[in-house]
Amino acid sequence: MNIFDIKEIRGIIFGYIYPSKITKGMKIKIIETKFNSFLKDREDYIYDIRNSLKHRGKVITLMNESKQEFFYRVYTYIYPSLGDKFKVIKY
């Protein structure tokens, strides 16, 4: 018998390696996105997570702020239900 065949033990072991729930504040790296190829390999913190009826799933929002001469924010949206792939780097 393989130890990974037991669901409870597998969940505990992989819970230390990868989080079971994605939440605000986690740092992610975008692996692949279908909407903008320039976002590939971008690392940023999750600003917001919400449900979208239009996209039939979750929408993850990333935010960048600039506090130089002019203050501005840039919001980036990731759609996991439409094929965007990312991995959690820090939680």
CA distance 63 to 13: 32
- Residue 87: φ, ψ to 5°: -135, 150
72 forms beta bridges with 66
Measured from the Cβ of residue 18, the count of other Cβ atoms closer than 10 Å reads 9
Query: Residue type for 48, please?
Result: D
pTM for the full predicted model: 0.70
Is it the case that residue 32 has pLDDT exceeding 70?
yes
- Map out the domains of the chain with their CATH numbers: 21-90 (2.30.30)
Per-residue pLDDT of 51-85, as tens digits, reads 888 877 888 888 888 777 788 888 888 888 888 88
- 32 CB-near residues (< 8 Å, 6+ apart): 40, 83, 84, 85
